[in-house]
Structure 1
Amino acid sequence: MFELPIEKWITIAVLVWSVVGLLLDKIRPALVFLSGVIVLLLGQVVQPADFLLSLSNESIITIFLLIFITAGIKNHFNLIGLLNRLFRTARSPRAFMIRMTAGVSVLSSVINNTPVVALMIPYVYQWSKRHKVAPSKLLIPLSFAAIIGGMMTVIGTSTNLVLNGFILSREPEGLGFLDFFLPGVLVTAVGLSFLATVGYRLLPSRINPMDEFKTNAREYLVETLIEEESELAGKSVVEANLRNLEGIYLFEIVRKGKGISPVTPGEVLQVGDHLYFAGDTEKVVDLLRQDNGLQIPHSGKLGIAKHVNLVETVVPRNSELTGRTLKQSQFRDKYDAAVVAIHRKGENLNGKIGAIVLEPGDLLLISAGQKFLSRNKNNKDLYTVSVVSRTNGTANWKKAVFGIGTLVSLGLMAAGFFSLFFSLFLVCALMAVTGLLRVEEIKDLLDLDLLIILASALTLSKALINTGVAQELATLVILFFQDGGKYGVLIGLFIITVLLTSFITNVAAVSIAFPIAYSLSHDMGLDPTGFYVAIAFGASASFLTPVGYQTNLMIYGPGSYKATDFLKIGVPFTLLYSITCITYIILMYF
């Protein structure tokens, strides 16, 4: 009895540490959660068996099975071609957005929404460039559509799977199909209608792909080198035709460690000069592919030919590349590629590219060696935005066998013969047998950080319930919202979950909110289903900040967004989303 207060204080301290650590974003989330679990273990609040049991949680394993499956589908099936047929007749940006968001939301309901966004970013970006539309008009709708579409099924987003895992650890049954599908369809319809009308006018349009250089919104810093055999050596800037380039300009020369800026027209170029240009993506590509005597630094070491494949990539949040220079991360050796240009949210970068400390959201223009695509295929530290298309050479019979086997497995699941976990396990096994998923790819896809976060969050949730801390927090919520009765408590729980998920991970928000909902529902003698649905939809309301959800950060750089862009569109979207969810929950469960 006397140990209970100490256990409560330890649990509260771990909870506060987890929230603050995630908000400050100075330490990797996996380390924040793992350190919290270590404290709980040292304080004997939980036992090692509890953490091991969390690692083997069926819902957590299901998340990884989904990651494996979606990666295999992405690599061997032309989903973009399928969606392209839906968008072919779109005559205006608004018409394209309506079809794109509808298609993405439906696809996200059956495929994890993060890979869906990763698949769609290059297509949406290229479509906007071809039709002279700012990518910022289309990429936020892409992310939002994937998020709300993923709410229609338990497999649409990992948040739903994690929550169901929490529920099954305390309740005899989890949320059913209709608990996700009906409100999911409702919020998707309402959300997409908002984006197509009022929301479209709120979306920023600060970048025109045909005028990027003038607006300086997607201006890249490009580093080139004049080598010994270059015909430019001994010529002035004017004689080398580097003075009046369209859409790109020479702003600095570094010669023997000393910078020359501004660069005068009569400046004579010398062997070993590093020339730094600023300009938009297309002009950078044109510059590097011209036979003008400019070389990519160290390109010979990679075996990169003069006419290289250029790949546009984005550095995601929590990437191991962040906070380090390219040299420190040994980028060339690790990826078989050289970074030839960097863009950072419209900022004017300067200095050697290899000495720039990378930040989340940075866009890197990559000169790719032969091994780059295979090495980076399933890498979590660098996402591809635009890449030269390549055939995968997968035999049609393998695709047919996989397709038939998948339909049979999912059909048996729908009929109640197989569980979701077993069906997905069979699909993964079928992919492995047909060669659509190799052991090497599984190793690359096995994200240890994600596994630690999920297992640690589940362990923290158990500690919050077992020590009674969740009970105490539930009491505070009841006291604050008690004047509104059960409806007030429901609204308060939804608001708390939305605020948490806006600044920390969805999984962390669920791990904090679930014990509160569990205690609230049992204390008030209510069916907990309504509270659990509120958590599910509140935890996926990641519309207010770019860091609230991975898909938001993935489109943050390519769209050249600012944080205020998410607030401008996210506040009204979240209000409409919240009103729709709460109204449905009250009518259906209370």
Structure 2
Amino acid sequence: MTFDIVFVLLALLGMVVALVLDKMRPGMVLFSVVVLFLCAGILTPKEMLEGFSNKGMITVAMLFLVSEGIRQSGALGQVIKKLLPQGRTTVFKAQLRMLPTISFISAFLNNTPVVVIFAPIIKRWAESVKLPATKFLIPLSYVTILGGICTLIGTSTNLVVHGMILEAGYEGFTMFELGKVGIFIAVAGIIYLFLFSSKLLPDVRTDAVKLDDEEEEDSSLHRVEAVLGPRFPGINKKLGEFNFQRHYGAAVKEIKRSGQSITENLDNEVLRDGDTLVVMADDSFVQTWGESSVFVLLANGKDNEPVPGKGKRWFALVLLILMITGATVGELPAVKEAFPNIKLDMFFFVSVTTIIMAWTKIFPARKYTKYISWDILITIACAFAISKAMVNSGVADIVASYIIGMTEHYGPQVLLAAVFIITNLFTELITNNAAAALAFPLALSISSQMGVSPMPFFVVICMAASASFSTPIGYQTNLIVQGIGNYKFTDFVRIGLPLNIIAFLISIFLIPLIWPF
């Protein structure tokens, strides 16, 4: 083995360990590895920076703003309120109304704002109709993931793989191409949730802190749940050291993490991204910090979402529909011939939509930077560089040869299964975009050495990198509902592992039929 191969393998191993231990944000971990490759001469400065100018990465950035515009228009809050049945109902009937529609919405919007808006409304509704909220919150996260795999813009992973495909010199995905297999996985997944979620998910888990003496003495104080985001300044600090009350004027009474309720010795607890803090605060807390990026979600049992006029809601929805329609029609050969000098793709239409939303004040243009998840963008940009380093060093070829050697008597379909399993394991342990970055050069090298089309492997990476159901750490929406629903890690394993297997079986069966080797 050459120095470059050994260096890259050790760096990638260190990257995976660092991501699993969660000592730093994924973007900084990947950026650190990319700088190491630059210092070792494996990447040139140009190769290191190419990901930061990639169309896929910039499209993801603007989709954050489009999703924020839809959120601030109040359209999503109105949709979920109409979906939730009023009066007596059952878990099955309520899921039947909710899950397919939420899945459809998440095919065109970023998953996180959908879950952030819907989760507290669903929890409050479930308590009002005497149904356990635990039967709805994990399914909420899962159907947003299932919807996301059906379109090019449904999840950042699809756009990342699309960008890598274009850089490799192949034709990328069209708007609904991934839906040829994604819809089958989504339908099967939703049916599975209908049939088994009531049996596999826990009943109501009572919160350790409901009302306390402090609230009874001072009626101005209320129980608020705050999910910590990656920008929270106290991450990796002890609660006592950070002094939450001095910063935010609220007292922490409980920390919910991995299904555990911590109420004792709170000052010595180290705060982590995704922790749910139960705090006693007055009405000004949510008003002051509701728009802050340090909290992913604030829920106080009341409706905190904006309710603008119907005109703004409809205008935002029309813009979204025009964006999707334009990107779809723009891929047609006749349209390409009619406008040879303009590429009417998703990048074009999302750019136009973002600017219109900013100028018409659907989202506050002065605050646009706070609505973008910069860590995800840095992770994506560095993913391109890491993929390039794996190719430059020869790691991709040597690992691909090893995988082919293990399965050479079984044909490309077994290799497709191997790529799915590898990608899926990485996405459950680290992040979906980092998993795609590691799997893409392997897929490209495997297909090249086998002399088969790489497209089936590219599609399987999209499906596997998004199929994060078995752990709460692979997808941010899983982390959000874990805190609100007070779920344990094992709850995700119990209901999520069969869903991973469903996605695997459908992918391995259908993908070669639709995209032949």
TM (normalized to structure 1)? 0.79
1:358 corresponds, among 271, 281, 284, to 271
Question: 1:357 aligns to what SS in structure 2?
Answer: coil
Contact 1:317 / 1:361 at 8 angstroms: preserved in 2? Answer: no
Which of 1 and 2 has greater Rg? 1
Cα deviation for residue 69 of structure 1 reads 1.5
Q: Distance in 1 between matches of 2:253 and 2:434?
A: 35
Q: How does 1:439-588 map to 2 (within 5 A)?
A: 439-588=365-514
Structure 1: segments with no counterpart, 5+ residues: 213-217, 221-280, 296-305
1:76 corresponds, among 73, 80, 86, to 73
Q: Distance in 2 between matches of 1:426 and 1:288?
A: 51
Q: Distance in 1 between matches of 2:323 and 2:488?
A: 44
Q: Distance in 1 between matches of 2:221 and 2:261?
A: 27
Q: How does 1:269-418 map to 2 (within 5 A)?
A: 281=210, 283-284=211-212, 288-290=214-216, 292=217, 307-308=220-221, 310-316=223-229, 320-326=233-239, 328-329=241-242, 331-332=244-245, 334=247, 336-344=248-256, 345-351=259-265, 356-359=269-272, 360-368=274-282, 370=284, 372-386=286-300, 388-390=302-304, 392=306, 394=308, 398-399=312-313, 401-416=315-330, 418=344
Question: 2:485 aligns to what SS in structure 1?
Answer: coil
Contact 2:25 / 2:230 at 8 angstroms: preserved in 1? Answer: no
Cα deviation for residue 420 of structure 1 reads 0.8
User: Relative to structure 1, is the Cα distance of residues 160 and 374 closer, same or farther in structure 2, using a 3 angstrom cutoff?
Assistant: farther
Percent of matched pairs sharing the same residue: 30
User: Relative to structure 1, is the Cα distance of residues 148 and 408 closer, same or farther in structure 2, using a 3 angstrom cutoff?
Assistant: closer
Q: Distance in 2 between matches of 1:407 and 1:318?
A: 32
Indicate the residue corresponding to 1:136 in structure 2.
Answer: 134
Q: Distance in 2 between matches of 1:589 and 1:87?
A: 39
Give the AA of the match of 1:186: F
1:219 corresponds, among 208, 215, 225, to 208
Q: Distance in 2 between matches of 1:102 and 1:577?
A: 17
Q: Distance in 2 between matches of 1:170 and 1:554?
A: 35
Matched residues, number: 500
Give the AA of the match of 1:194: Y
Indicate the residue corresponding to 1:234 in structure 2.
Answer: none
User: Relative to structure 1, is the Cα distance of residues 521 and 366 closer, same or farther in structure 2, using a 3 angstrom cutoff?
Assistant: farther
The structure in which a higher percent of residues are helix is 2
Question: 1:499 aligns to what SS in structure 2?
Answer: helix
TM (normalized to structure 2)? 0.90
User: Relative to structure 1, is the Cα distance of residues 85 and 347 closer, same or farther in structure 2, using a 3 angstrom cutoff?
Assistant: closer
Of the structure 1 ranges 458-467 and 388-397, higher mean CA displacement relative to structure 2 is found in 388-397
CA RMSD of aligned residues (A): 2.5
Structure 2: segments with no counterpart, 5+ residues: 336-343
Q: Distance in 2 between matches of 1:504 and 1:87?
A: 34
Contact 2:74 / 2:305 at 8 angstroms: preserved in 1? Answer: no
Q: Distance in 2 between matches of 1:44 and 1:73?
A: 44
Q: Distance in 2 between matches of 1:514 and 1:74?
A: 33
Q: Distance in 1 between matches of 2:288 and 2:61?
A: 20
Cα deviation for residue 390 of structure 1 reads 5.0
Q: Distance in 1 between matches of 2:329 and 2:168?
A: 26
Higher relative contact order (CA 8 A, sep 6+): 2
Q: Distance in 2 between matches of 1:386 and 1:48?
A: 48
Indicate the residue corresponding to 1:165 in structure 2.
Answer: 163
User: Relative to structure 1, is the Cα distance of residues 350 and 332 closer, same or farther in structure 2, using a 3 angstrom cutoff?
Assistant: closer
Q: How does 1:422-433 map to 2 (within 5 A)?
A: 422-433=348-359
Cα deviation for residue 585 of structure 1 reads 1.1
Contact 2:245 / 2:252 at 8 angstroms: preserved in 1? Answer: no
Give the AA of the match of 1:505: T
Q: Distance in 2 between matches of 1:129 and 1:504?
A: 34
